[in-house]
Structure 1
Amino acid sequence: MKYFSYKAKDLEGKLIKGKVNSETEKEAIRHLKTNDLILFELKELNPLLHKDIYIGSPVKNKDFVIFLRQFATLIDAGITLVEATVILQEQTQSKPLRKALNQVQYSLEEGISLSDSLTEFPRLFPELFISMVRAGEVSGNLDEILNRMANYYEKQYQLRQKIVTALTYPMVVGVVAVVITIFLLAVIVPIFTDMFLSFDQEIPAYTQVVLQISEVVQTYWWVLLFIAFMGVISVRLLDKNPTMSYYMDVLKLRIPIFGVFIQKALLARMTQTLSSLLNSSVPILQAVAITENVIDNKVMKQVLQSSKDSLERGESMTEPMKKHWIFPRLITQMITVGERTGSVDAMLKKVSEFYEQELDESSDKLKSLIEPVMIIFLAFVVGAIVLSIVIPMFSLFENI
């Protein structure tokens, strides 16, 4: 893909400057002309210097959901796909999405299908969304599919927020506890160290331990910082190793209290995704494969891969699930009933609603449980250091 800068005038004579990416210079010129622009300057740019670089997802979830809602409304109103993409370019607040829609518009004008046009932007349009659009093109209910996708991504966003809300508090309190501990050991404790040593009195063993830790923090703080840095790097490297990454995901699910919460979140996401795909007439093998790619836990991915293999052999998709601890009996029983009655999508939807409710209740319980525990933990850490200073001071005052 090449990048070009251009100068042009619109039909009203207004000067317009911008960038466009296209395979060739001719395609870029043709694309600009289709937008009713009178081109008088076009320069090819260095793609390495002018390519947009984004950290994380280029499009916010909120912008993406609004885009889907608007797209569905336009299609339902009888607006053509090309006209809809032009209108959406003007409406969206997301610069990456606007640029992508500009290229999608060009592809549609060339006779390329919407689903194939979207595949050129894998970071903006997930495989799940593209597969659903393709299903909508085949069935002729694209507007319904887009609305369904908007509902799906709204639920996924709410699900993610529940997880973030539940896990943020202990992480923040933990970081605060570490910062306060280091501050007390590196700044406050040394102030009293010289005072304790100036008195010819025996210092309690507990206080001596704290003073020695304080000395280590002051002298070798850079070593501790290096160890923390190497710990983060090691976790990143282990995550890239397939085997270690798998066991790290197992560990996440085995953490007391938090593991069950993460498991419920994964089950809710898996059932939501699979239900949406099957309800949109996506073939079950393809639906399971897409769901496997959507899930970001290696343990569940492995079971879904086995379920897909089971389906290819003509067996039930629940056979591998029944043998694995990550899937409760509720899910396997509901899917089995769905397979027998031909309503797997409906059964999965009921299961997803159940786990959404379970997640809500677990989130509330987790927050109510963690808050006092973390406050006690923080008080214990600070109190332990303060106590190490207070105890010898009482002894000194008694001997004065």
Structure 2
Amino acid sequence: MPKFMYKAVNPSGMPFKGTLEAQSFQQAMDELKREGYWITELMDQSQSILHREIKFGGPKVKVQQFTLFCRQLATLYKSGVSMVDSVKALADQMESKEFRGILTEVAASMQQGTQMSEAASKYPTVFSGIFINMLRAGEISGNLDEMLNRLAVFYEKEHYTREKVKSAMVYPVIMGILTVVVVTLMMLFVIPNYVASFQSMGLQLPLPTRMVIAVSDWIVSYWYAIPVIVLAPSLLLALLKRHPKGPYWIDYAKLRIPIFGKLLHKQAIARFSRTFSSLFTAAIPMLQALSLVSSVTGNVVVGKVIEDARDGLVGGKSITDPFRHSWLFPPMVVQMMSVGEQSGALDTMLEKVADFYEADVDAMTDRLKSMLEPLMIVVLAGIVGAIVLAVMLPTFEMMKNGVVPIN
């Protein structure tokens, strides 16, 4: 019987994954739905990397759009507009057709007496477990306006931090691609025409020139291999992700990358602290909050430590013990969590940690951008200059010996 891999969200909003046996995709879907799960991904385990995954649960919404939606919803509700009217108003002005349709359906469900958290839980790919649980907590406690404001602040800070990290990493990628394109074009079109005259003269070319010519000849002969070489790392990563421990190895390697690894590490700590603080403030049960936080840190290695903390809490241990023995959580973070746990102000301490690391990420990305821009320009200029110099060496030798090449 075929085996199927799936990712789903349970009625409590907790994401998880697993495998099951079924005769067909439809039977697998029906079985999961009978158990009350919202399916986000379902795939035949026997399929190769070239087969496409079949995804369910509705479209995804851009983070920027969702962040703006949260802020506008909090503002409208605080101004005295009812929740139903607020959602309808935001649906009417939403640019994304998919998001507009989802909000319209949510508003229609709310008009029939359904709470927004319940109506939104039908779209787990749009409304995260954090959003649904905090919204439900606000509905139960009667502090919906405060909870909406906390959600808006949470997503705004999350979006800002993520964009700062992206902006620091985009420039090196662009410059790397530009370097490959420039060097490839030079090797394909410039070098062969320029060195042809030297080869026809039978000169003994310097070693750097011979090396450049050899690379140029290889690229001209095997140009079709260049896309394969460029895409090979992405293919290897995709294959590695299929391995049960692949995502863990990949995220561990990310954290060990010089400079950028430290940036990603700080971003993960900031995300953990901000998310945990928001859920704790919303009075979400500790075990459920830790399960949610472990799935949104953006790094499997960090998520594993949080899962260990959850398991330790079930066994009666302190929440800070797994963090204390992990290199991923600095002593300052663990100490502030310990103080917050003992004083009953864990949310306040975590919020301070989040503020600190978000500011640290902000400052680090600005420093990286100011350092990387001139550095990458120098690297590109150095590579192109080395190639040009290697090609010009025969000309310098001929001019030194009093011979002028004739074109």
Match of 1:378 in 2: 380
Q: How many residues align?
A: 347
* Paired letter, 1:110: Q
Distance 1:52 1:258 in 2: 34
Post-superposition Cα deviations, 1:157-186, rounded to whole Å, max 9, x if no partner, equal 110111011111111111111111111111
The CA distance in 1 between the partners of 2:116 and 2:308, in whole Å, is: 32
**CA apart distance, 1:70:** 3.1
Residue 77 of structure 1: how far off its partner (Å): 4.2
Aligned partners of 2:67, 2:58: CA distance in 1, in Å?
22
> 1:353 aligned to 2:355?
yes
Q: For 1:208-239, what per-residue CA distance to the aligned partner results, in whole angstroms no more than 9, with x for missing partners? A: 11101100000011123223233322212212
Work out whether residues 266 and 361 of structure 2, in 8 Å CA contact, stay in contact via their aligned partners in 1.
Answer: yes
1:305 aligns with 2:282: no
Contact 1:71 1:143 in 2 (8 A): no
Q: Which moved more, 1:282-291 or 1:96-105?
A: 96-105
Match in the other structure for 2:113: 111
AA matched with 1:142? L
State the partner residue of 2:318.
316
**Is 1:211 equivalent to 2:207 in the alignment?**
no
Question: C-alpha distance in 1, partners of 2:166/2:143?
Answer: 35
Separation in 1 of the partners of 2:58 and 2:85?
Answer: 28
Partner of 1:64: 66
> Partner residue of 1:393?
395
TM-score for the superposition, normalised by structure 2: 0.81
Partner SS for 1:221:
coil
Whether the 8 Å CA contact 1:201–1:396 is kept in 2: the answer is no
Conserved? CA contact 2:67–2:159, under 8 Å: no
Partner of 2:170: 168
In structure 1, distance between residues paired with 2:231 and 2:88: 48
| Cross-structure match for 1:42 | none
1:1-400 correspondence to structure 2 within 5 Å:
57-58=60-61, 60-399=62-401, 400=403
- 1:267 and 1:89 mapped to 2: Cα distance? 34
Distance 2:270 2:174 in 1: 26
CA distance in 2, matches of 1:229, 1:172: 16
**Post-superposition offset of 1:359:** 1.1
Larger helix percent: 1
- Matching residue's letter, 1:354: F
Q: Which segments of 5 or more consecutive residues in structure 1 lack a partner in the other structure?
A: 1-50
User: Sequence identity of aligned pairs in percent?
Assistant: 38
Give the deviation of 1:69 after TM superposition.
2.9
Secondary structure in structure 1 of the residue aligned to 2:284: coil
Q: Which runs of 4+ in 1 moved over 6 A?
A: none
TM-score (norm 1): 0.82
Aligned to 1:12: none
**CA distance 1:80–1:360, shift in 2 (3 Å):** closer
Task: Tell me the CA shift for residue 75 of structure 1.
Answer: 3.0
Instruction: Provide closer, same or farther for how the CA distance between residues 75 and 200 of structure 1 changes in structure 2, counting only shifts above 3 A.
Output: closer
Match of 1:294, SS? coil
Distance 2:160 2:131 in 1: 18
Instruction: State the Cα deviation string for residues 71-100 of structure 1 (Å, max 9, x = none).
Output: 223433444433333333223333222211
Cα shift at 1:151? 1.0
The aligned amino acid for 2:268 is L
- After superposition, the Cα gap between the structure-2 partners of 1:370 and 1:86, relative to the gap in structure 1 and judged at 3 Å, is closer
Q: CA deviation at 1:103?
A: 1.4
- The answer on whether the counterparts of 1:292 and 1:305 sit within 8 Å (CA) in structure 2 is yes
CA–CA distance in structure 2, aligned partners of residues 75 and 162 of structure 1: 30
- Please state whether the residue corresponding to 2:224 is helix, strand or coil: helix
Q: Which residue number in structure 2 is paired with residue 3 of structure 1?
A: none
Q: Secondary structure at the match of 1:377?
A: helix
CA shift in 2, pair 1:78/1:364, >3 Å: closer
Displacement of 1:105: 2.2
* TM-superposed deviation, 1:64: 2.2
Given that residues 74 and 148 in structure 2 are in contact (C-alpha distance below 8 angstroms), is that contact kept between their aligned partners in structure 1? yes
User: Is 2:121–2:127's contact at 8 Å kept on the other side of the alignment?
Assistant: yes
CA–CA distance in structure 1, aligned partners of residues 222 and 100 of structure 2: 51
Structure showing greater radius of gyration is: 1
Across the aligned residues of Structure 1 and Structure 2, the Cα RMSD in angstroms comes to 1.9
Q: 1:76 to 1:324 in 2, by over 3 A?
A: same
Summarize deviations over 1:290-333 as a string: whole Å, max 9, x none: 11111121100100100111111121111111111111001111
Amino acid at match of 1:390: M
Q: Deviations over 1:80-126 (max 9, x none)?
A: 43333333322333322221122112322333322111011112111
Quote the residue 1:14 is aligned against.
Answer: none
